[in-house]
Amino acid sequence: MSQIERPKTIVTRKLPSAVEARMAELFDVELNADDTPMTEDELRDAVARAEVFVPTVTDDISADILEAAGDQLKLIANFGVGVDHIDLSAARAKNMIVTNTPGVLTEDTADMVMALILSVPRRLAEGEKLVRAGGWQGWRPTGMLGHRVNGKRLGIIGMGRIGQAIARRARGFGLSVHYHNRHRLPEAVEQTLDAQWHDDLDDMLAEIDILTINCPYTSETHHLIDEARLGLLGRDVYVINAARGEIIDEAALAAVLENGQIAGAGLDVYENEPEIEPRLLGLDNVVLLPHLGSATFEGREAMGDKVIANIRIWADGHRPPDQVLEGWV
């Protein structure tokens, strides 16, 4: 591949100012100043003109969109780790390289998951709302009782970077760690994390007190946690999801929460973002966050640095370091 000095780069959403300034120095870049999500027609126009296309999780880069791409579009440098919003088969069919931004969001996302693990059983968000509403009448022995976290069994679905970071944090709070993963971790890693592998997801669900979902979203994990699997959880179990909303059947989750079949939930992602299942909005035993998992200044700038590095290395004629390969999950 020959070198491209200032590749035509189109970015779909507003990025941190420092990232945009660096892109303007290095590339012939079109930025999204007002951060309005692109329409389908605007996405088609962008891929028709760009040499490098920088989408985010809010953009549905379907085969139909990529069909409009010009021959000059050779790199999709995704601003984010997950690439389930990009039709990878269609991109490969057109000889496009797809990159992502792994590694830099691990600790931020794990912090958010741990915050939810603490917040939901201890009813922290519910208590904060009570205080702000002027409804708190002072301490009482039976007021705002929740569940202790120490000593509980944490089940982790997906033991990649984020899952392992959560396991490390969980040990510090006295949780015992159980996990389900497509592949068992090496014994040395299990011993370091003091984590117990469950080959059968259903068996794990029947044993745990808190469930956190941290696997990628794929066709195989769509509604992985459905009505039947929610039924395997005990009445005192809490469900945490900061991965992808589509992994849980949101309607089924709302139903078991309404009926008291499980104790509560902490959600940072939703099936049809930004829309949320209306029944969830009225439940006190649910903490709802606006997809904050990786929303730190440091994390966003690190993501931008990854995008820039991938573009520069590709433009210099080399394989970018974060190329998404077949079977990336």
- Could you list the active site residues? 244, 273, 291
Please give the helix or strand (H or E) that residue 193 lies within, else none.
Answer: helix 187-193
Measured distance between the N- and C-terminal CA atoms of the chain, rounded to whole angstroms: 27
Instruction: For 56-108, give the DSSP string.
Output: -TT--B-HHHHHT--TT--EEE-SSS--TTB-HHHHHHTT-EEE---STTHHH
Please give the helix or strand (H or E) that residue 250 lies within, else none.
Answer: helix 250-258
Residues 6+ apart with CB under 8 A from 291: 268, 269, 270, 273
Burial (CB count within 10 angstroms: exposed 0-12, middle 13-18, buried 19+), residue 282? exposed
What is d(CA 204, CA 259) in angstroms, rounded to the nearest whole number?
A: 22
Instruction: For 252-282, give the DSSP string.
Output: HHHHHHHTTSSSEEEES--TBTTB--HHHHT
Give Cα 48 to chain centroid, integer Å.
29
Nearest by Cα to 14 from 34, 28, 39, 41: 34
Helix axes 124-132, 106-119, angle to 10 degrees: 70
Which residue is it, tokens 């009570």? 130
Residues 6+ apart with CB under 8 A from 266: 116, 117, 119, 120, 238, 239, 240, 241, 286, 287, 289
